[in-house]
Amino acid sequence: MGRNAVLRFAASLFESRPTRSSLAHVFASRPTPSSLGRKLASGALAQYFYQPTGSESEEYHKWYFNSFVWKKTKWMGVDCFKSVADMWNYQEILFELKPSLVIEFGSARGGSALFFANIMRQIGEPFKVLSVDVHHGPLDPAPQCDSDILFVESRSTAPAIAEHIQRLKSEFTGKIFAILDSDHSMNHVLAEMKLLRPLLSAGDYLVVEDSTLNGHPVLPGWGPGPYEAIEAYEDEFPNDYTHDVARENKFGWTFAPNGYLIRN
C-alpha cells in the first residue's frame, strides 16, 4: 500500500467518528470499529502523517546550543554543561563498558564528574573518576567532597598527567572511559588525543566533545577545533579507533559529532 493510499485510509477512519447525538450510546457501548480505527491511525500509522525533512536534528542542535539551555543544565544541583542526550548515552556506555577509570579533561563546575561518579556507584564496580582542569576555582563544593573523584589542577596535556593516569591504571585495572571537554582548539585536542594514545587499550572508549563547533553545525567562525583535531589524528593514526556511529546518531544529534570512538 502506497503512502497516499495509507493516508486516505487513515483519514477515512477519522471521518467515520460518531456524531454528537450518538455520543451517549458510544460511551455506553463497547469500542466501535471507528474508535478502534482512530487508535490504529494515531498509533501504528502515525509515522505516515509525519515525514521528516532531514533538517530537524540540525535545527534543534542549533537551538539547543544558541539558547544556552546547556548552561542551565544541572546534575544533583551542580552545573553540568552538557547535552542531556549525550549524558543519557554516556550512562548507557558506562553500564555496558563497566570501566574502572573515568578520565575527564575539563572539570568546569564539576557537575559532569559528579554525574560519572553517581552512575559508576550504581554499576557497583571499583572505580575512580579523574577530572583535570587548568583552573579549579569554579568547582562546586559538592563534587569536591566526593571521595570517588580525584580533581587535578593542571594542563591536560602535561606529561605529569600521563604519568598520573598510568599510576591510576595500575590501581584501577580494567576498561577506561575518557572524555575531552577542555580547551576546544584543534591543536590542544589533538595533543590530548596523542597523550591518551599509549594509555588506552582495545575496547576503551573516548568521546571528543564540542566537535559541534566551527560549523558542525554551530559557531561557523570558531576556527579549527575538536572536529578538525579528530580528522588530523585519524590522518596520522588511521587505525586507532572505530567510530560508534549508532551511538552517535541514536538521539539524532550530539555535541560530539564524529567523536564517539572505540579504541581498536
d(CA 120, CA 140): 20
DSSP string computed for 12-59: HHHHTPPPGGGHHHHHHSSPPHHHHHHHHHHTTTHHHH----S-HHHH
Dump pLDDT digits (tens) for 3-47.
555 555 555 554 545 555 555 554 455 555 566 666 655 666 666
CA distances from 69 to 79, 115, 225 (A): 11, 18, 22
pTM, to two decimals = 0.83
Please, are residues 242 and 264 in contact by the beta-carbon 8 Å criterion? yes
Share of the chain above pLDDT 90, in %: 78
Dump pLDDT digits (tens) for 198-245.
999 999 999 999 999 999 999 999 999 999 999 999 999 999 999 999
What value, to the nearest 5°, has the Cα angle with vertex 121 and ends 119 and 124? Answer: 115
Give the CATH number of domain 58-263: 3.40.50.150
Average pLDDT, whole number, for the chain? 89
d(CA 131, CA 236): 27
The segment(s) of the chain belonging to CATH 3.40.50.150 are: 58-263
